[in-house]
Amino acid sequence: QIQLVQSGGEVKKPGASVKVSCRASGYTFANYGLAWVRQAPGQGLEWMGWINVYDGNTKYAQSIQGRLTMTTDTSTDTAYMELRSLTSDDTAVYYCARVQAYSGSFFPDYWGQGTLVTVSS
């Protein structure tokens, strides 16, 4: 079955960086894009960015661009999300999600279990 398994929770100090991994299984990794979505405590879903696994092309949310890098390793079917210059506002659960296409629209269909990143001094 299709699974996305993320790395464990992280505690970081303000100004630090965090790198979260997302290992895919049960489908052909390079055939689908991946999105990263985060959710601050008690808040809604915020899209962070998308990566075309096949060619590495990325699209980042404007609010976070400049601090975010998404990459993939097709030899291990793993995606990575690195966020730099962390502040307390970055405390959230971070999700990776496989992106499906339908008639020119795109939507996440399978999600990882989430990774809690806590930024605290």
Partner 1 sequence: DFQMTQSPSYVSASVGDRVTITCRPSRGLSAWLAWYQQKPGSAPKLLIYGASTLQSGVPSRFSGSGSVTSFTLTISSLQPEDFATYYCQQSNNFPPQFTFGPGTRVDLK
**Residues 36 and 93: beta-carbon distance below 8 Å:** no
From first CA to last CA, the distance across the chain in angstroms is 40
Please report how close the Cβ of residue 60 comes to partner 1 at its closest, in angstroms: 9
**Residues 115 and 81: beta-carbon distance below 8 Å:** no
Closest among 26, 10, 38 to 77, alpha carbons compared: 26
Rg (CA), the chain: 14
Which of 33/86 has CB closer to partner 1?
33
The answer to whether residue 8 forms part of the interface with partner 1 (CB under 8 A) is no
Which of 17/54 has CB closer to partner 1?
54
Question: Which residues in the 31-70 window bind partner 1 by CB under 8 A?
Answer: 33, 35, 37, 44-47, 50, 52, 57-59, 61
Which of 88/100 has CB closer to partner 1?
100
Please report how close the Cβ of residue 59 comes to partner 1 at its closest, in angstroms: 4
**How many other CB atoms are found less than 10 A from the CB of residue 58?**
16
Contact footprint for partner 1 (CB under 8 A): 33, 35, 37, 44-47, 50, 52, 57-59, 61, 95, 99-100, 102-114
